[in-house]
Amino acid sequence: MTMLGDRQQLAYIASQAADARVNVELETEGMTLNIGPQHPATHGTLRIIARLDGEQVVWAEPSCGYMHRGYEKLTEVRTFPQVTALVNRIDWLGSFANEVPFILAAEQLMGIEAPPRAQWIRTILFELSRIANVSLVLGDLGVQLGAITPVFFAFRDREYVLNLIEGATGGRFHPNFDRIGGLKDDLPAGFIDETRAVMRKMRKFCDEIEGLLFGNEIFEARTRGIGVIPRDVALQYGLSGANLRGSGVDWDLRRDQKLPMAWDKVDWKVWTHPDGDSYARCWIRLQEVRESTLIVEKLLDSLPSGPVMAKVPRIIKVPEGEAWVSTENPLGEMGYYVVSKGELGPFRVKIRSASFNNISIVPWLLKGVYVPDIITILASLYFILGDIDR
Amino acid sequence: MLGLIAGIPYWAQSLLRVLGGIVAVLLPAGTIVYVFLFKMMSFMQSRLGPMEAGPFGSLQLFAEVGKWLQKEDLYPERADKFIFKMAPLIVLSSTFLLVAVVPFGPDAWFTNFEAGVFYALAVSSVSVLGILIAGWASANKYSLLGGLRGAGQLIAYELPMVLAVIGVVIQADTMNLQQIVVAQNAGSIFGWDGLGNPYILTQFIGFIIFMIAVQAELTQTPFDMPIAESELVSGYMTEYSGFRFLIFFISEFATAGVFALIASILFLGGWGVPFSWFGWTSIDSIDNWMNVVGPLIMFTKMMLLVFVIMWVRFSYPRFREDQLQRFAWKVLIPLSLVNIMATSVLKVAF
Amino acid sequence: MSSLAEITAVLGDAVEESFEKGPEGNVDTWVRVKTSAWRDAASVLREKLGYDYFCFLSAIDWMPSPYGRGEEDPTAEREPIDSTIRQGYTGGATRMQVFARLVNHRTHHGVTLKADVPDDSLTIDSWVGVFAGANWHERETHEMFGITFAGHPDLRNMYLPTDFEGYPLRKDFPLLARIVKPWPGIVDVEPLPGGGDEEGGAE
């Protein structure tokens, strides 16, 4: 460093001090914003505590538990068939899909398998609940980003799918239809033709949403490059479903796992997107609804005949053992780790729900984004409160 | 109304003006809310809209207003009560002041300013004060964010709006709104005067910029960040309830109507029909019946423009705050400057 | 080489016990590692064998519930409850065990890792440094079982109030609803007259 004269040195110090003062003065006070638990964008009671600098998020942390119902504890005092009534309420938009992995786990421990027709119907109802669930979130995506109309289309068309589920199971939201060893009932008369018609409607709905939202420049500006999750981070946090495939991981439990279900009996495609941003995740959801309608149609074509219930004892006692079964639910990987001690009910059930993992990435993802992007990111990660808190 | 009644006493004139103003504000607000919000958009969203109150739900608006008026006048404990209560009135008064310069017919006007365009643009920006103080006085973080966003946005879009209007002013040679209407209807395009010369044809870029800026000034989607119900709950309106919310609500739609009126004056020929149709030559030779038909024509044009505003509102997602600013400063303002330059060059050339 | 053989080879003497079941092509694997090797097992499996997908982490309390299932006839004499602790697959020596599942997203093979948690300290290493996603799972486990994860940055409660006492998922935490009022569904689990148990059969 060159030596400076006194005068120069003083001037230098003064200018530095002036700079420092300006920096101190411009450093604005942060603000802590509580988004939720009652907030229009959190569809449920998720609360996000965000520290803001202006509109930029410095630090954010979701705070859940406003809806914790203690299902893992409750399962310990239920019998195996009773548990399905509980787990129905985990992801309440795609309830039937919650029952399936639990029933499969129990069946695996008992060493029984549902008859083919039951497997087909299970898969059909599973995909129908995926369509009902994800089509709603596609509409909701519009609301989160400020477009009001798509959600009305979504509610309108989801109704047809719910009618189908109601027709087959008797319950619109909580079917509780799956039984250990098969299903409660066979399909009602006319179900097949009606389902084909509805599947065509749902594909039209997908086209509408694609035109209304995905082709919109503002939608692209709001979602492209927002909330990018790199592949290895997604794996580390255990993201699943469209969130994982949106980061370019080609992994779908329906295809990559051998389960007594009918997915491997028909031909379909797993969609992935390399970008990992909000747009990619939403786009994959849209494609998956389309793909699901096709799966349902193909399954209807090949629906085998036969009984829908295997022979199971009247009193179900599950032999001692442990089983892990997970399926590709509308929200992502939903799995049950069932420990049985050979009694009427499970000894311990660990419920691995998709949203819990999907939302645990939020603190990492929200650093440095703007307030409107919080909403975009949450909407694109897509969670259901019951699925986080269980 | 009010070149017509020049003979009656001043107090009666003032009373008539106030009544006329209230009608001119409430009528568009009411029809927009009813026709567009309740019905038109319900059909677009494949639902029925109001059905219960009155035939086809036509009394729904009264039911809603009645409901709001009954509600308790709430304010947050830590709010700055005086200005909290005042804010909606400031927003509404900006709408009323805006109506004052709108001409509805050859003699049907409240005031006939020489600098009417200037006045209208100046007065329309008063509402930003109301929004800002509503956001600040609510003592709510969402309101504060909404108010700040509102202020930033309204100021940013004031500029393209003014610049878009300058093209019209250059072409019409006047800032008087009445004269602008006359200039369009008496004008001709390359000697053909069958349509007059509505500036939407010659100032098309200006029209588009103006309508975008209006959309932003009205804080309608895709520029509704100050309200942004999925982010900021309701932005600066979060804490308002009862009739104060009603005032915000009315002024939101009344302002949409008034801006549509101004846009129709500036670009669509206002209350007039092309003068060549009836062989008129100047404003003095216009038949008196135009004072009745003129407002109806205006109203039709207003509905048309409001339809566009609402249509966009209900089909677009929302911009982000920084994208909105970028759009204003990097796209709209340069574009409107180019428009002004081209207009003046052509003006001199022809 | 089978997946289990690979895993035991890589983990070396950290493995206490292992178990494998399932049909060909859909084999599920359990490995119990030493408590001290819990963290290293995760990072070794991740780095060397590509088990890079973190599925979940939780714990089991192997003690049978002293309260039973709350389904007994409240007027009848209570049968004594056998309180011997029997661990599940891959055995174990302690009441509490943590278990977690890792998946290799290329081969789609998953492994359930287990480890004993010492009864006295109830402390085990945290996985947060290996899998960032373990953060919330460990918080949940801490809250529900009272297991401390050494090295976890922030073991706050997720669901319960900060001043909540007790660890709800431990077996000795009573489910009060079942204790104050007998379960109305008792009817469902009464055996049918004539021994319904033998009706039908699984195989």
pLDDT digits (tens, 9 = 90+) for C87-100: 778 777 888 888 99
CA distances from A387 to A65, A70, C21, C95, C177 (A): 11, 12, 29, 29, 23
pLDDT of B2 reads: 47
- Give the number of C-alpha atoms closer than 13 A to the C-alpha of residue A263, restricted to the C-beta side: 21
pLDDT of residue B240: 85
Residue B5 lies in a domain: no
Q: Residue A286: what are its φ and ψ, rounded to 5°?
A: -60, -45
Beta-strand ranges (E) seen in chain A are 31-35, 47-53, 56-63, 178-179, 182-183, 321-329, 332-340, 348-352
pLDDT, residue A12, reads: 67
Q: Is B173 left (phi over 0), alpha (psi -120 to 50) or beta?
A: left
Percent of chain A at pLDDT above 70? Answer: 92
Task: Kindly indicate the confidence band of residue C187, based on its pLDDT and cuts at 50, 70 and 90.
Answer: low
Residue A22 banded pLDDT, cuts 50, 70, 90 = low
DSSP string over A165-228: HHHHHS-SS----EETTEESS-PPTTHHHHHHHHHHHHHHHHHHHIIIIIT-HHHHHHHTTSS-
- Residue C201: the pLDDT is 40
Give me the pLDDT at residue A28, please. 62
Local confidence band at A381 (pLDDT 50, 70, 90 cut-offs): confident
Gap between the Cα atoms of B68 and B347, Å rounded: 52
CATH number of A78-358: 1.10.645.10
pLDDT band at A2 (very low <50, low <70, confident <90, very high): very low
Coil, strand or helix: which one is A47? strand
What is the C-alpha separation between B257 and B23, in angstroms, rounded?
A: 12
pLDDT band for position C198 (cuts 50, 70, 90)? very low
Contact between chains at A313 and C71 (C-beta distance less than 8 A): no
Q: Where does the pLDDT of residue C73 fall: very low under 50, low under 70, confident under 90, or very high at 90 and above?
A: low
Is the Cβ pair C52, A74 closer than 8 Å? no
Question: Domain limits of chain C?
Answer: 3-198
C135-172 pLDDT, tens digit each: 888 888 988 888 888 888 888 888 888 788 888 888 88
* pLDDT (tens digit per residue) in A62-113: 888 788 888 888 888 888 888 888 888 888 888 888 888 999 888 888 888 8
CA distance C84 to C63: 7
CA atoms within 13 A on the CB side of B61: 18
Closest to A82 in 3D by CA, of A291, A270, A344, A288: A344
Query: What's the gap in Å between the CA of A91 and the closest CA on chain C?
Result: 18
* H/E segment holding residue A146: none
Q: Which two tokens stand for residue A292?
A: 């699901």
Chains that touch A (3 or more CB pairs under 8 A): B, C
Which of A176, A349, B306 shows the shortest CA–CA distance to C61? A349
In this model, does residue C74 exceed pLDDT 70?
A: no
How far apart CA C137 and CA A72 sit, in angstroms, is 14
Residue B47 lies in a domain: yes
Assess if residue B124 is contained within a domain: yes
**Residue B148 to residues B135, B152, B251, B276: CA-CA distances in angstroms?**
7, 6, 19, 50
- Closest residue, chain A, to B140 (C-alpha): A33
Partner-chain residue, chosen from A31, A39, A142, that has the shortest CB–CB distance to B317:
A142
> Cβ separation of A146 and B224 shorter than 8 Å?
yes
What SS3 class is residue A51?
strand
Q: Is A147 on the interface with B (CB under 8 A)?
A: yes
Q: How confident is the model at residue A331 (pLDDT cuts 50, 70, 90)?
A: confident
What is the structure's pLDDT at A42? 63
Rounded to whole angstroms, the Cα distance separating A100 from A136 reads: 21
Residues spanned by the domain of B251? 10-349
Q: Does A73 touch chain C (CB under 8 A)?
A: yes
Measured over all CA atoms, what is the biggest interatomic distance in chain C, rounded to whole angstroms?
59
- In the predicted model, what is the mean pLDDT of chain B? 81
Q: Which of B316, B319, B321, B331 to mutate to test the interface with A (most CBs of A within 10 A)?
A: B316
Q: What are phi and psi of C87, to 5 degrees?
A: -80, 160
Does residue B15 belong to any structural domain of this protein?
Answer: yes
Q: Taking the mean position of all CA atoms in its chain, how far away is CA A222? A: 21
pLDDT of residue B5: 59
Question: If you average pLDDT over every residue of chain A, what do you get?
Answer: 84
C3-198: CATH class:
alpha beta
Q: How confident is the model at residue B171 (pLDDT cuts 50, 70, 90)?
A: confident
* Number of domains comprising chain B: 1
| Amino acid in position A31 | M
Chains B and A touch (3+ CB pairs under 8 A): yes
CB pairs under 8 A between A and C: 139
Q: CB under 8 Å to A309, separation ≥6 — which residues? A: A114, A115, A118, A179, A181, A182, A183
Confidence at A23, pLDDT banded by 50, 70, 90: low
Segment A195-218, tens digit of pLDDT: 999 999 899 999 888 888 888 888
Report the alpha-carbon angle A42-A47-A51, nearest 5.
Answer: 115
Any C CB within 8 A of A238 CB: yes
Chain C adjacent subunits, 3+ CB pairs under 8 A? A
Residue B332, min C-alpha distance to chain A (Å): 16
**What are the residue ranges of helices labelled H in chain B?**
10-31, 41-44, 60-70, 81-99, 116-124, 127-137, 141-172, 177-186, 199-202, 204-217, 242-267, 290-315, 321-326, 333-349
User: Are the beta carbons of B230 and A144 separated by less than 8 Å?
Assistant: yes
Nearest chain A CA: its distance from B337 CA (Å): 24
Å from A71 to nearest chain B CA? 30
d(CA B228, CA B146): 8
**Cβ–Cβ under 8 Å, residues B339 and B245:** no
Q: Is residue B293 situated within a structural domain?
A: yes
Residue of A nearest to C105 (CA): A251
Across the strands, what pairs with A370?
Answer: A56
